[in-house]
Amino acid sequence: MKTTTINLQNLSFGLFIGLLSLSCNSDKNAEKRNSVSEYNVLTVSPKTIELYREFPVTIEGTENIEIYPKIEGFIDKVFIDEGDYVQKGQILFSLNAPEYEQELLSTKAAISSAKANVSSAQVDIEKAKPLVEREIISKFELTSAENSLTAAKATLEQAQANYSNAQSNFNYTKITAPVSGYIGSLPYKLGSLVSSSITEPLTTVSNIKQVYAYFSINEKTYLEFAKEGLLSNMNEVSLLLPDYTLFNQKGKIQTVSGQVDEETGSFHVRAIFNNPDNLLRTGNSATIQLPRTIKGAFLIPQSATYEIQGGVYVYLVNNQSQVKSTKITVTATNSGLAYIVTNGLKEGDQVVLEGISGLSSGKEIKTVQVKESDISALQQIIEKVTSTNQ
């Protein structure tokens, strides 16, 4: 019978080494767990987002008429002041041009003289008729008298035409408003000599019951808007005033230029707005807002992204708490602090929000969930989305 002898000393030493090894492994695992950093993450969900594309505009009244004199003369009276509202036909300026008054008197006298000649010619005919019948004078003299009457009538007509022309010229000494509206600047003062050839108008009259908002868009933007129907006159547009408040009237796109401006490579667009309170004036600047609705999009702060060679990327967290770099397609929001993601994300994805410069694909992290309402860059947009969907 074979006997097995156990060396208790060796066994005790082996157990000691094994326990020591287990203790070291346990400490390493604990150290590894402690080395996993915490990162704030956002679990995304799709939304219908109302986005605005903004463009600077120049405001003009629907009627913006420059006033020029039609005759030469000295400004005798100015009946209006800058900023006044005038009615159509109201006198704006009076010119001192005495030659036109003299011409009017002269042509009026010429009419009186021509009428007298007509009367005399008619009398001559009446005298000649019975004498011709009695053959006292020849028929030739009657024909001559009739021709004299025809010539006298023609002279009268010419005199009347001259008077009408003189009357028009005299009327031009009173310059009236062609439309109702507001008066612009008044560069010429009393006594200034003006004529139809002056380079700067006497003033401008602007009808601003409705106003035009002019702006330009490049070819790429035009194609985007045309495909989405944003340039249709069925869509309402908004106007942001220089004090960053919204104008209280909605407008509509009215026209888009039929061809590209060769110098700027852009299309010229005109929108129209009602202006019942006359708040907008010709020459005002503002910003037009064209609404654009994006369905099924995701909203993330811009700080959660990074760029490589023109592409935009985020880090997503998988089920093993590991991050992975993912390319996304984005559209900037009006605030400039957030992105609308239209491709690259799906509902439930976890996006790392901050500290992404120290990450790389495959790195394990500990996630801390953050609500959208707690992210300041998204709050305003979320409120807009909420109000739009109600």
Considering the chain, what percentage of its residues have pLDDT values greater than 70? Answer: 87
Same structural domain, 88 and 178: yes
Point out which residues pair with 253 in neighbouring strands.
271
Same structural domain, 158 and 182: no
Q: Lowest-confidence range among 230-234, 324-328, 337-341, 344-348?
A: 230-234
Report the pLDDT value the prediction gives residue 383, as an integer from 0 to 100. Answer: 52
1 part of a folded domain: no
Report the pLDDT value the prediction gives residue 140, as an integer from 0 to 100. Answer: 73
Cα 125–126–130 angle (5° rounding)? 105
Report the pLDDT value the prediction gives residue 133, as an integer from 0 to 100. Answer: 72
Cα 248–251–255 angle (5° rounding)? 160
Point out which residues pair with 252 in neighbouring strands.
236, 272
CA 208 to CA 278: how far, in whole Å?
A: 6
Same structural domain, 370 and 263: no
Same structural domain, 270 and 315: no
Same structural domain, 312 and 377: yes
**End-of-domain residue from the set 274, 292, 310:** 292
C-alpha distance from residue 45 to each of 33, 346, 372 (Å): 30, 8, 10
CA 253 to CA 255: how far, in whole Å?
A: 6
Backbone angles phi, psi at 167, to 5 degrees: -65, -40
CA 103 to CA 159: how far, in whole Å?
A: 12
CA 199 to CA 299: how far, in whole Å?
A: 55
CATH number for the domain including 128? 1.10.287.470
Same structural domain, 89 and 178: yes
Same structural domain, 337 and 232: no
CATH number for the domain including 285? 2.40.30.170
**End-of-domain residue from the set 194, 226, 253:** 194
Report the pLDDT value the prediction gives residue 230, as an integer from 0 to 100. Answer: 78
Q: Work out the pLDDT band at 30, boundaries 50, 70, 90.
A: very low
Same structural domain, 118 and 214: no
- The answer to whether the beta carbons of residues 89 and 226 sit under 8 Å apart is no
Q: Of 278, 274, 286, which is closest to residue 236 (Cα–Cα)?
A: 274
Report the pLDDT value the prediction gives residue 347, as an integer from 0 to 100. Answer: 93
Q: Of 377, 168, 388, which is closest to residue 292 (Cα–Cα)?
A: 388
Q: Work out the pLDDT band at 374, boundaries 50, 70, 90.
A: confident
Same structural domain, 89 and 116: no
> Average per-residue pLDDT in the chain?
84
User: Which structural domain range is residue 179 located in?
Assistant: 74-94+174-194
Same structural domain, 124 and 160: yes
**End-of-domain residue from the set 250, 266, 292:** 292
Is the CA virtual torsion 103, 106, 108, 110 positive or negative? negative
- Rounded to an integer, the average pLDDT of 330-351 is 86
CA 181 to CA 66: how far, in whole Å?
A: 12
Count structural domains, the chain.
4
CA 173 to CA 158: how far, in whole Å?
A: 23
User: What's the whole-model pTM score?
Assistant: 0.62
- The answer to whether the beta carbons of residues 299 and 338 sit under 8 Å apart is yes
Report the pLDDT value the prediction gives residue 382, as an integer from 0 to 100. Answer: 59
Q: Lowest-confidence range among 252-266, 304-318, 340-354?
A: 252-266
374 part of a folded domain: yes
- Rounded to an integer, the average pLDDT of 262-285 is 91
- The answer to whether the beta carbons of residues 302 and 338 sit under 8 Å apart is yes
Q: Work out the pLDDT band at 344, boundaries 50, 70, 90.
A: very high
Same structural domain, 374 and 305: yes
Q: Of 381, 323, 362, 345, which is closest to residue 51 (Cα–Cα)?
A: 381
Report the pLDDT value the prediction gives residue 87, as an integer from 0 to 100. Answer: 94
Report the pLDDT value the prediction gives residue 247, as an integer from 0 to 100. Answer: 96
6 part of a folded domain: no
CA 159 to CA 142: how far, in whole Å?
A: 26
> In terms of DSSP bridges, do strands 366-369 and 38-43 run parallel, antiparallel, or are they unpaired?
parallel
- The answer to whether the beta carbons of residues 4 and 308 sit under 8 Å apart is no
Q: Work out the pLDDT band at 94, boundaries 50, 70, 90.
A: very high
364 part of a folded domain: yes
32 part of a folded domain: no
CATH number for the domain including 379? 2.40.420.20
- Rounded to an integer, the average pLDDT of 362-379 is 84
351 part of a folded domain: yes
Same structural domain, 353 and 285: no
Structure token pair of residue 3:
């006997």
Q: Of 218, 219, 267, 212, which is closest to residue 237 (Cα–Cα)?
A: 212
45 part of a folded domain: yes
Report the pLDDT value the prediction gives residue 74, as an integer from 0 to 100. Answer: 94
C-alpha distance from residue 216 to each of 55, 206, 268, 289 (Å): 8, 23, 5, 13
Has residue 24 got a pLDDT over 90? no
Structure token pair of residue 250:
């909605």
335 part of a folded domain: yes
Predicted confidence (pLDDT) per residue in 299-328, tens digit: 899 989 999 988 999 999 999 999 999 999
